[in-house]
Amino acid sequence: MKEYRFLVHEEGDSVGVVTSDLKAGETIIGKNLEKDIEYEIKVLEEIPLGNKVALKDIKEGEEIIEYGEKIGVATKPIKKGERVHVHNIKSIRWGGKVNE
Amino acid sequence: MNNKILGYIRENGKVGVRNHVLIIPVDDISNSAAIAVENIIHGTIAIPHHYGRLQFGRDLDLFFKTMIGTGSNPNVAAVIVVGIEPNWTNRIAQGIAETGKPVEAFYIEKNGELKTIEKMARSALKLVEYATGLKKEWVDFSELTISLKCGESDTTSGLASNRTVGRFVERFLEANGTVLFGETTELTGAEHIIAQRFKKEEDRNKFLKMFNDYQELIKEQGVDLLGSQPTEGNIAGGLSTIEEKALGNIQKIGNARIDSALDYCEQPVGKGLHFMNTSSAAAEAVTLFAATGAVIHLFPTGQGNIIGNPIEPVLKITANPKTVNYMSEHIDLDVSGLLKLDGTLDDYADKLWNKIVETANGKFVKAEILKHREFVLTKLFPSA
């Protein structure tokens, strides 16, 4: 069995959820929860279990998609393979500004 | 799957899985007497709390509903109610007595606490003899009412433990069971998905009104819930925003549709899945679910919430392997294998089904063994 290190809720999500502690420089694979889709990512920084990893480059002001839904907005540019958490995304409901 | 459990069929036909003799203090100053009797009479549980004086209006109504509902819960065989004065004490005792179960009421005024404790203890002794003589009977699993609320959630909740509960809920509803869920504020960012799931327009509108009323209450305070939602524990576990937390939260009902929207402690009409307006604070929500008739609570956790309830077994499920490791004495079901895709969601829903049947048949959950008995009233506004 392959060792998946992150899982993705829905096709088109911009983040995956990390399921074991990751180190910078590792190349890892992840899988979609329901569908037979695999992803490969080069990890750019340490990411602990339960945090999210960017599956693509994300611009400042761009919506973050998880579960196929908007979970927040990027407050700074995020590179594919970087950690995605409260330091670089914010709730849209409570104050986050989306670029139109 | 096993579809029969051994339960207690109460006088009103409702099915319970525990057999408590409950001692209910009506007010804060009667806690001492209730606890004293619990200490000397084996098989009794007291539920001390901080209120019951000078409440009024909707807040008082909810107080009575919660106290009467708790005593009426089918996990309770018999009840002693103790208060400082007869009026409110009798109101609660009479409300519970409508279920047909034995209820006795005691007042401290004009008696003093010590004489009251003696009278209560003699009554409790007889009620424990009565309760322990009751026999369990085989009943259909679907006769149970199960409640849902997660806590100290993290991203593993949305990936695995809440999804396991969701798959179980889909199947339990197919088997004609009854399920209660709530957590009004923790639906923020996923309320549109919940709203779509109501079978009837009137319930959808009722839900949206309860949801929006709370949002207005937050705005009236001139604040948002950043700093409270997500909590520090949630953020430590990787949850970044209220939207993400809510989308993980609603995995607990799977793809099920919702039969009704209930306000605090409002009794559901018929079986099926019911949304109830509740706080998202674990003990407040579980107390309301138990007071609305739930007999087993499913509590998925990420970082490890340790809550229990005096009358309703609170069954903990986690998918976080670190929590399984550090907090094993609190965890009843480990579904962390799902993070490695070791087994299917159906496999884990089977495990949960079996665990609930075991619990219903009498096996204690960890929160019961650890005597976690958080009984917390929901207060709608300050007392007079």
Domains of chain A: 6-91 (2.30.130.110)
The H or E element that residue A55 is part of is none
CB-CB neighbors (< 8 A) of A4 in chain B:
340-341
Mean pLDDT, range A5-12, rounded to an integer: 97
At residue B225, the pLDDT reads 79
Low-confidence ranges of chain B (pLDDT < 50): none
- Residue B251: CB atoms within 10 Å: 25
At residue A1, the pLDDT reads 67
Q: Which residues of B lie closer than 8 Å to A, measured between beta carbons?
A: 154-156, 158-159, 188-190, 193, 224-226, 235, 237-238, 240-244, 247-248, 302, 320-322, 339-342
- Whether the pLDDT of residue A5 is over 90: the answer is yes
Q: Which of B235, B243, B322 sits opposite A71 (nearest CB)?
A: B243
Minimal CA–CA distance to B358: which of B17, B77, B21, B74? B17
Round the average pLDDT of chain A to a whole number and report it. Answer: 95
**Whether A69 and B190 lie within 8 Å, measured CB to CB:** yes
CB-CB neighbors (< 8 A) of B320 in chain A:
49-50
At residue A2, the pLDDT reads 81
Measure the CA dihedral B326/B329/B333/B339, to 10°.
0
**Whether B339 and A19 lie within 8 Å, measured CB to CB:** yes
**Whether B159 and A4 lie within 8 Å, measured CB to CB:** no
At residue B222, the pLDDT reads 85
Start-to-end CA distance of chain A, whole Å, equals 43
Alpha-carbon distance A14 to nearest alpha carbon in chain B (angstroms):
13
Mean pLDDT, range A42-51, rounded to an integer: 97
Q: Which of B159, B241, B250, B339 to mutate to test the interface with A (most CBs of A within 10 A)?
A: B241
Residue B130 CB partners (closer than 8 Å, separation 6+)? B77, B78, B102
CB-CB neighbors (< 8 A) of B155 in chain A:
17, 50-52
Alpha-carbon distance B323 to nearest alpha carbon in chain A (angstroms):
12
CB-CB neighbors (< 8 A) of A74 in chain B:
none
Q: Is the pTM of this model over 0.90?
A: yes
* CB pairs A-B closer than 8 Å: 92
Q: Which of A29, A31, A36, A49 to mutate to test the interface with B (most CBs of B within 10 A)?
A: A49
- Whether the pLDDT of residue A34 is over 90: the answer is no
**Whether B155 and A52 lie within 8 Å, measured CB to CB:** yes
At residue B365, the pLDDT reads 98
Q: Note the ipTM here.
A: 0.96
Mean pLDDT, range A64-80, rounded to an integer: 97
**Whether B243 and A85 lie within 8 Å, measured CB to CB:** no
